Homo-oligomer: A and B are copies of this chain.
Amino acid sequence: MPKQAIDGQGNARMKQGDHALSGELTGEGHRLVQRVYYEDTDFSGLVYHARYLHFLERGRTDYLRCLGVAQSALLSADDEGLVFVVHRMEIDFKSPARMDDILAIATSTEKAGGAKMVLTQEIRRGEQLLIQARVIIAVVNASGRPRRLPEGLAAKFKR
């Protein structure tokens, strides 16, 4: 039961809380729920446009976390090391979010292979689509040079 995860009591709670806090894997990829706070808004009364990239990044980070991919471990995983670097973003701002809104960030893998990953992400408030994004990620080694994504890792994103 997800609620237990954050709201329960005793030691069990903390562990479960960790999990709920990180969202959950879905049929299409990953889903994370986040709240809009003061810090996310600007004087227009709406969410500051760059803040949506924070919500998207939290989604990507927790997607990896739920896949069991520790980014810090990847760096020293094999001889080369492996780092994900955002190479390009295309973002459509469909409709604005406001203070106190509850947002669901959905992340799914469009492509994972070679030296490249493509993720598609959406932010919704209830059913309404607010943000649509396409994120092109370069797979590089510890020295910043392009490298291949290992098969085992690529497979995780395609599940």
Q: How many copies does the complex hold?
A: 4
Among residues of B, the one whose C-beta sits closest to the C-beta of A61 is B37
Q: Does A33 contact B (CB under 8 A)?
A: yes
- In the docked arrangement, what's the CA distance between A18 and B92, Å? 26
For A49, give the chain B residue with the smallest CB separation: B86
Question: Which of these, B45, B87, B93, contacts A43 with CB under 8 Å?
Answer: B45
Chain B residues contacting A53 (CB-CB under 8 Å) are 49-50, 53
Inside 8 A of A57's CB, which chain B residues have their CB? Answer: 37-39, 49-50
State the Cβ distance, A137 to closest chain B Cβ, in Å: 10
Q: How many residues of A are in contact with the other chain, CB < 8 A? A: 58
A96 and chain B: residue at smallest CB distance: B85
- CA of A22 to CA of B36, assembled, Å: 11
CB-defined contacts of A48 to chain B, threshold 8 Å: 38-39
Whether A90 is near chain B, meaning CB under 8 Å from some CB there, is: yes
* Given A41-B43, A42-B42, A17-B33 contact (CB < 8 Å): yes
Which residues 63-105 of A sit at the B interface, judged by CB distance below 8 A? 65, 85-93, 98-100, 102, 104
Given contacts A39-B50, A88-B91, 4 further A-B contacts (CB under 8 A): A1-B16, A17-B20, A21-B102, A43-B43
